[in-house]
Amino acid sequence: MRSSQVGWGAGKNGDPGLLETDLCPPQLVEFLDKWHGSAATLPGRMEELMVALYERDYVELLDVELTQAWFEALIDADYPMPALIASASKAA
């Protein structure tokens, strides 16, 4: 789903607006549930995820580029990135 297609609340003439499945289709939920990145840093992991979402047509290339630029700006500002933690399923 493209960001330009997203709207909130009821539409005109009683149109119910977007449903939960419109905003988060079951295929996306399944993909996110199974997805595991391999990068050792938060910026790297987010980049991997955004590229994977782009490859599946959930986001635009501009979304990937803006995410990369956002993390570059945080790094340039010496923002302390949080460490990644292992998920419960991986730690067990």
**pTM of the model as a whole:** 0.69
Residue 11 covered by a domain: no
Who's near 82: CB < 8 A, 6+ residues apart? 42
> Could you tell me if residue 44 is inside a domain?
yes
Domain that holds residue 80: 21-91
Tracing tokens 């580029």 back to the chain, one arrives at: 65
The reply to whether 8 falls in a domain is no
Q: Give a yes or no: residue 14 inside a domain.
A: no
Task: Render pLDDT for 1-13 as a digit per residue (tens, 0 to 9).
Answer: 444 444 445 444 5
pLDDT digits (tens, 9 = 90+) for 50-87: 999 999 999 999 999 999 999 999 999 999 999 998 87
Tally of domains in the chain: 1
Residue 30 domain flag: yes
